Structure 1
Amino acid sequence: MKKYLSILPVFLFLLTLGSCKKDYLDTTPSDQIDADKIFDNITNVKVALNGVYRAMYMQYSDQEQDGHPAIMITMDYMGEDIVHTATGTSYFRGAYRWVDHRSELNDLPYFAYRLYYRIIANANIILEGIDRVPDATEAQKNVIKGECLAIRGWAHFMSVQLFGKRYDAEALLNDPTGENSPLVTLGVPVVTKYSLDPQPRNTVAEVYDQVNKDLDDAIVLLNGAAPARGIYRTHIDQSVAKGIKARVALTQQNWVDAAKFALEAVQGYQLMSNASYLDGFSDMKNSEWMWGAHQLPDQLPAYGSFYAYMSSNFNSSHTRSNPKKINIDLYNSLSNTDIRKKLFCDNVDDFVNFPGVIDASTGQPVPSQVRAKYMHKKFVVADPAVSAGDIPYMRAAEMYLIAAEAKARQGLNAEALDILEPLAKNRDPNFVRPANSEGLLTNQYSLIMRQRRAELWGEGFRFLDLKRQNVALDRASSTSGHTGTLANWIGRAAGGAFWQFLIPRRELQANPYMIQNPPN
């Protein structure tokens, strides 16, 4: 029997929920349960749901496949704001050079496609079985349904952004028939039921319709549920579902909904202090974290993990030989009193503020490490011997930025500044609101985009931001820090085939309904 990537996800249960002993509840990790016992009681369902969340950050086949955090790294490496200082190891190099995602045979498209559809399939299995759990109340079922629908909507959203064309609302307005709109081009399969049958690709518009339906239903079902605002914010609550909805609306150029849901999502969260901003971004107890992964040391793969590639202090061959730095033009656009500027090194001999990679046996900087001006210390692990840390999926700051951008794109500049000012002033006490509110979004260094790029550096947004705005990749500045031999693509025009991941060859060969996008 042929195996299709679009339905292979079910076998993830064998990885995260695998078989176990009779006393499994006492002897196995919190994300493992016998597959045939999942729906025996509500406790087992919750354990299974924990497994779905873990599937978001577990390692799949190799070091570049640490779940969604690996896609976050890829999204930023494919932008212009993270600069590689040296050739370093081979990991993620092909993504940085804009090569891997355009090969049907490369592991990157295969991994990305498989990742999100495994998550979708597992969410579908829980959705289809939750109503037969004997001891579950309606309220308990609704929370789990809400989380699974939000997960399914989020995973479809991530997948269509990668494998589909940019959502272009303006093109649809100018062409109501849709004949020339990218929205009628193929996106990814919409999978709302677990099935062993192969699935064809739906249009971009159809995928977004399903994404919005799932999120709308999730928001209703999660209404009244206890917010996931304890120490570990690993599960989706209503605020996070609204935050995902705000992201989707921003991508669809639905400015009204983007602002609305972002402002609703951020209610109850507090922006972190400047002191907290320098704490290393690896602890979700931070006041403005909304959603993230809590990765324990015993869950780490032998090699790899988000912090093995993105931390400044873990002693991996990747970080030791190739520290990541900020685009110098972006760095120079920040005020000297902006706390975000302090995340980047302005003096390579400053070992006090920028110790870099640490030898865990001595607690001292590794002498052989590469050091570079503008290298970062945003992501720092608590123990330099262990590449474990909490991974940020969503923070309150992003909601301020979404709402401000959405207001400005409606021409409501004063309202946009009202929203942006608290964030900007929190990060820079000397921030002065511009007297002239025009030009907030005129280019990628204008106020709102500069704030967004600096704030979300390294958190997995840049490629998707360029794509949704239909803005060219521009690494060509003489001062940006990118070099032609390493970065490969110094510039890439907006639009066109290079902004889409190719459907992996293994799916094309196995699935008779799957069609590759034609080159253009």
Structure 2
Amino acid sequence: MLNFKKMRNLKHNNPLKFAFLLAAILLLQSCSDFLEQEPGTQTSINEQLGTKQGVLEAMNGMYRAIEANVRTEAFSTYADLQGGNLKFAPAVSTSTTIGQVSTPGSVVNLYSFDDLADKSNLAAFYSANYSIINQANLILEFADALKDASDTEKSQIKAEALTARAYAHFLLSEIYSQNYGFTADASHLGIIYNSKSITNGLQYPARETVANTYTFIINDIKDALNLYADTLILNGPAHSYFNKNNTKALLARVYLAKKDWKNAYDTADDIIKNSGVVLMNSGDYVAQWQKPDGPVSEILLEFSIPRNDEGAASTSLAAFFGYTSDTQYGKYTASQDLVNLYEPSDIRKQLFKNHPLPTLVNFQKEILNYYFTDKLQGNPGYVAFRLSEQYLIRAEAAIELNNSAQAIEDINIIRTRANAAVLQGNEDLKEAVFLERRKELCFEGHLFFDIARNKKDVSRNDGCIALSCSLTYPSPKFILPIPRSNINLNTNLKQNESY
């Protein structure tokens, strides 16, 4: 239990350290209820994590924290909004500002490439990820000592916790560090990599280089892959938890971001050939996405939304993207920039339903077209990994490995399923795979990171109401500021350029 006398002394003698300790304790307890008992009581970490049941409760808390974090409005829209796949819907007809198009408060700063360190739109996302990392570290530190768990169960517990730790660090790296190729040797600023819980004492670490950050991420994933026992230890749908297949999918994505083409190719190839998961087919592609519940059949990992005892979902991504009626719809719709990329015959275009809505244009009401996506209707969970991405990873890596034939084959597998014209071999393959990722993986959190990895400029046209609708690469605005509160707590934590 906590020594409150020591905390009081620390508060008076070293207020900065006290503030950091208090924040760390709150971080430990946030985003999960696994330390909470009945109102007015609390159990110690040693007691809670001293049994298999306690550790499994902690793991459930960790997964709930991950799902809640990736489902936040600012993060779940970030990559597509910044890249130009999304625009904003007008205010609903029941509001006093009927037809007005404005930037939602959750993204108002970052949307203009002008996020604020003092009040960052993703400040909660930053802190929540480190809370998740701390939870994973606690689980790792207690797993081996469990007396009521088998060696197989311990291995599975550690594998999932290591993967969660790697995943959270990777998400942080994507948001707060320039892409791996920003400098020739990836010596630019990465993130703080935490491999110990705060129970080991307060640390004031500096940021790693991006090269070191990726080394730590990859090592964690490889360690996890060596531990997976293919044993489902938590109740619920298997596609909602880390396993060997979706951990390999994470590794393939990390290798792609690192531009480690050979390992990206081999890892994606392994998943395609050996995971047992197959692509959705043309005949039910649209219907699969339109299902009100449950993921598409080629899912590798979906962080499923929580449900009550009656099975009802409290909220989902449809709150941001969905359409029910002209007076009930989400804030985000597909931009014409995206919709225009699809050929008329492309079945993926059927996932965008046009709904004309009253819109204020120069203080006059006009009826404009808005395309809401069927990808995120009903009760969708967060699509973390699915098989189509692996084909496109293998294709991109194949191009860099001078294996154009394989790249064309993989791109055409995705295009043929979509009933789009196949590549003939004389196209710019790098641009072809970039555009295929934009079309196939839209609203799944990839576009802005793909733009940065390919060192492209951002150009947002249809519906852009930001102060700045374009961003020229390279720019410090391709990443966000470390929240000022975290900088203030750790004097070794260096802020990103321009913030």
Q: Same fold (TM over 0.5)?
A: yes
Label 1:306 to 1:6 Cα distance change in 2 as closer, same or farther (>3 A). farther
Counterpart Cα distance in 2 of 1:301 and 1:418: 42
Label 1:111 to 1:440 Cα distance change in 2 as closer, same or farther (>3 A). same
1:19 aligns with 2:53: no
Offset at 1:270? Answer: 1.9
Counterpart Cα distance in 2 of 1:130 and 1:290: 26
Label 1:286 to 1:310 Cα distance change in 2 as closer, same or farther (>3 A). same
String of CA shifts for 1:140-161, please: whole Å, max 9, x gaps. Answer: 1111111111111111111112
Cross-structure match for 1:79: 83
**SS state at 2:353 partner:** coil
1:250 aligns with 2:256: yes
Cross-structure match for 1:360: none
Label 1:84 to 1:517 Cα distance change in 2 as closer, same or farther (>3 A). same
Counterpart Cα distance in 1 of 2:322 and 2:145: 44
Cross-structure match for 1:389: 380
Please tell me whether the aligned partners of residues 88 and 333 of structure 2 are also in contact (alpha carbons under 8 angstroms): yes
Counterpart Cα distance in 1 of 2:426 and 2:493: 48
Counterpart Cα distance in 1 of 2:334 and 2:489: 41
Counterpart Cα distance in 1 of 2:22 and 2:442: 32
Offset at 1:315? Answer: 8.7
Cross-structure match for 2:278: 270
Q: Which amino acid aligns with 1:211?
A: I
Offset at 1:332? Answer: 2.5
Counterpart Cα distance in 2 of 1:144 and 1:128: 11
Please tell me whether the aligned partners of residues 348 and 371 of structure 1 are also in contact (alpha carbons under 8 angstroms): yes
**SS state at 2:55 partner:** helix
**SS state at 1:291 partner:** strand
Offset at 1:403? Answer: 1.1
Label 1:436 to 1:90 Cα distance change in 2 as closer, same or farther (>3 A). closer
Label 1:158 to 1:465 Cα distance change in 2 as closer, same or farther (>3 A). same
Cross-structure match for 1:359: none
Cross-structure match for 1:376: 372
Q: 1:57 aligns with which of 53, 63, 67?
A: 67
Label 1:507 to 1:285 Cα distance change in 2 as closer, same or farther (>3 A). closer
String of CA shifts for 1:464-516, please: whole Å, max 9, x gaps. Answer: 1111211110114xxxx134xx1332211012211121111111111121121
String of CA shifts for 1:382-411, please: whole Å, max 9, x gaps. Answer: 3xxxxx432211111111111111112222
Counterpart Cα distance in 2 of 1:410 and 1:309: 39
Cross-structure match for 1:475: 460
Cross-structure match for 1:162: 175
Please tell me whether the aligned partners of residues 400 and 419 of structure 1 are also in contact (alpha carbons under 8 angstroms): yes
String of CA shifts for 1:165-214, please: whole Å, max 9, x gaps. Answer: 22118x53xxxxxxxx5x22222111101123222211111111100100
Q: 2:150 aligns with which of 108, 115, 137?
A: 137
Bigger CA drift: 394-403 or 431-440? Answer: 431-440
Q: 1:103 aligns with which of 116, 121, 142?
A: 116
Counterpart Cα distance in 2 of 1:511 and 1:188: 13
Please tell me whether the aligned partners of residues 167 and 251 of structure 1 are also in contact (alpha carbons under 8 angstroms): yes
**SS state at 1:487 partner:** coil
String of CA shifts for 1:402-440, please: whole Å, max 9, x gaps. Answer: 111111222211111222322222222xx4433325411
Q: 2:404 aligns with which of 406, 413, 426?
A: 413
**SS state at 1:127 partner:** helix
String of CA shifts for 1:69-113, please: whole Å, max 9, x gaps. Answer: 74121222111111224424633341562345x311124242221
Counterpart Cα distance in 2 of 1:13 and 1:93: 23
Q: Identity, % of aligned pairs?
A: 23
Counterpart Cα distance in 2 of 1:228 and 1:419: 35
Offset at 1:457? Answer: 1.1
Cross-structure match for 1:191: 194
Counterpart Cα distance in 2 of 1:346 and 1:240: 34
Counterpart Cα distance in 1 of 2:23 and 2:267: 31
**SS state at 2:245 partner:** helix
Offset at 1:379? Answer: 3.5
Bigger CA drift: 452-461 or 369-378? Answer: 369-378
Counterpart Cα distance in 1 of 2:57 and 2:132: 15
Cross-structure match for 2:297: 287
Q: TM-score, normalised by structure 1?
A: 0.79
Bigger CA drift: 183-192 or 6-15? Answer: 6-15
Label 1:305 to 1:105 Cα distance change in 2 as closer, same or farther (>3 A). farther
Q: Which amino acid aligns with 1:294?
A: S
**SS state at 2:320 partner:** helix
Counterpart Cα distance in 1 of 2:250 and 2:473: 25
Please tell me whether the aligned partners of residues 192 and 207 of structure 2 are also in contact (alpha carbons under 8 angstroms): yes
Counterpart Cα distance in 2 of 1:335 and 1:380: 22
Offset at 1:38? Answer: 3.1
String of CA shifts for 1:40-92, please: whole Å, max 9, x gaps. Answer: 3323322211110100123xxxxxx7656741212221111112244246333
**SS state at 2:194 partner:** coil
Q: Which amino acid aligns with 2:33?
A: T
Q: 2:57 aligns with which of 43, 47, 66?
A: 47
**SS state at 1:330 partner:** helix
Q: TM-score, normalised by structure 2?
A: 0.82
Counterpart Cα distance in 2 of 1:83 and 1:506: 31
